Amino acid sequence: MEPPVPGWQSADTAEAPPCDPVDWNGDFDWPLSDAELCAGDYTVRIRGDLRLWAGTESVAGLSCVCEVEGDLMMEHLYALDSLKGLERLQRVDGDLRITAALGLRTLDGLSSLRSVGAALSISSNQRLESLSGLKRVEQAGELFVTDNAELVTLGGLERLESVSGELYITGNRRLSSLRGLDTLREVGGIIYLSANGRLATLSGLNALEHVGGLQVWYHSSLIRFDGLKSLATVDGDIIIRSNTRLEACKLPALEQVGGELNILDNLGPIVSPSLDRLTSIGGILFINNNPAMRYIVGLDALTDVRDIQISSNDSLESVEGLGAVTSVNSVYIVGNDLLTSFDALGALNQVDDIMHFRENRLESIDGFGSLRQIGSLDLDDARLTNVRWARGLERIDRDLLFIENGGLESLDGLEDLREVGQDVVLSENTNLTDLRGLYGLERIGNDLRITDNNALSQAEIDALLDTIGEGNVGGAISVSSNGD
């Protein structure tokens, strides 16, 4: 084939591209280029970027283009109201960006497009109502559908099976459904869903099996976190945050989370997450500031998790389950104002860093029946009356801190404790009278401080010191402002 105009060369027919194109070498700016791109009966592969000028009124003159090896950029187009003319386009190897195309209502001219190698970005198109023109797209490097004010559904993406990078669906204020993503099985990066004003459910993602991460933020209509019936593996984090009406959170097939699992700042009456098959969380399990959540149950298949923090859930009354976890780095149960029952972590035998109970409403704890070793134990819970749940605990590597536990009367439950690696602090426990639970202590690595326990007698303190032996306290002994 002879080059029709300077700058052309024949395509490599050995590659047998499906559109059998000739090549345009370099970038092409439409309609500003001096060359006439589609002057004959042939198809064209642009070996560079194809850029549409802001004043473009028609793309009919690009009717020969079937492949773009660089980016196809359609941005800030104020006069274009149709993509008719691009019906032969089958592949874009770089980005395909349709941004602020103010007149577009549909993408129908892209009906032959099958793949986008980098990012397929549909953003800030204020009149766009449908993605139906993308009906043949099977693969994209990344997918961004953001800030399209009139977009109601993702219908048109039904053939999309994989996205190798990130997938963002954000700021589409009328979007009510994720239908259209029904064949999507894998997303290599993060799925980020945010501020889609009418989205009430995640139905439409039922085929999804594996993602790099999952984040769902700032939805005012999302009631049910469902529709992810096949999702088994998340390589990174799951973040479910600031969804004001969320009631249910169900991931029935989920088995592994490589990063963190965060459920926080959801104002709706969310119930305990349903995660019956989840066995592993690589980072923290963080359930924080869900003011209407009343209970946490289940997670009984979970065996591996790095840290657990349950905090500032104003209506939380009980925590149960987590019965297969044997070791963690830390446990924080903090600031749950109505929490009166904790019957969880019954198989836990080791906490590497810290276990901290503070500012809950707990009077007793029924979990931790297997606990043997803790990095530090920090209790600051005004209603807690005993530590019998710690029976069997043999060693604390660093500190034992019991401070401001107004309901604590005795240390029964610590009889098996033999060593504290650093400090023991018993302070401002106003009803503490009995220290016999510490009579088994053989060594305190650093300081022993017993202060401001109004009901604790000096005789009780002296008996403890005699039992331990002052020579077995590695640092200073400080006793002051107790009962007598």
For the chain, what percent of residues have pLDDT higher than 70? 96
Residue 62, amino acid: L
- SS3 helix, strand, coil % of the chain, rounded to 5? 5, 35, 60
Beta-carbon count within 10 A of 365 CB: 24
| Interatomic CA distance for residues 65 and 43, integer angstroms | 6
| Interatomic CA distance for residues 366 and 269, integer angstroms | 26
Q: Which residue, among 482, 460, 478, 458, has the nearest Cα to 470 in the 3D structure? A: 478
- Residue whose tokens read 């104003």: 314
Kind and range of the H or E run holding 460: helix 458-468
β-sheet bridge partners, residue 462: none
| Interatomic CA distance for residues 29 and 207, integer angstroms | 40
| pLDDT tens readout for residues 240-285 | 999 999 998 999 999 999 999 999 999 988 888 899 999 999 999 9
Q: Which residue, among 471, 423, 469, 422, has the nearest Cα to 450 in the 3D structure? A: 423
Q: Which residue, among 80, 73, 81, has the nearest Cα to 99 in the 3D structure? A: 73
- Residue whose tokens read 């990012």: 119
* For residues 338-363, average pLDDT: 95
* For residues 193-220, average pLDDT: 96
| pLDDT tens readout for residues 440-473 | 999 999 999 999 999 999 999 999 999 999 999 9
Please state, rounded to an integer, the average pLDDT across all residues of the chain. 93
| pLDDT tens readout for residues 398-440 | 999 999 999 999 999 999 999 999 999 999 999 999 999 999 9
At residue 40, the pLDDT reads 83
On the CB side of 186, CA atoms within 13 Å amount to 7
**In which region does residue 192 sit, left (phi positive, over 0), alpha (psi from -120 to 50) or beta (all else)?**
beta
Report which DSSP code applies to 461: H
Domain boundaries, the chain: 372-484
**In which region does residue 116 sit, left (phi positive, over 0), alpha (psi from -120 to 50) or beta (all else)?**
beta
List of long-range contacts for 140-144, beta carbons under 8 Å, 24+ apart: 140/115, 140/116, 140/164, 141/116, 141/117, 141/165, 142/118, 142/166, 142/167, 142/189, 143/119, 143/167, 143/168, 144/119, 144/120, 144/168
Which two three-digit tokens encode residue 136?
């043949």
Kind and range of the H or E run holding 464: helix 458-468
| Interatomic CA distance for residues 394 and 443, integer angstroms | 12
Instruction: Report whether 354 contacts 378 (CB < 8 A).
Output: yes
**In which region does residue 335 sit, left (phi positive, over 0), alpha (psi from -120 to 50) or beta (all else)?**
left
| Interatomic CA distance for residues 214 and 220, integer angstroms | 18
| Interatomic CA distance for residues 95 and 406, integer angstroms | 63
CB-count burial class (<10 Å; 0-12, 13-18, 19+) for 174: middle
Tell whether the model's pLDDT for residue 396 goes beyond 90: yes
Q: How confident is the model at residue 11 (pLDDT cuts 50, 70, 90)?
A: very low
Beta-carbon count within 10 A of 326 CB: 12
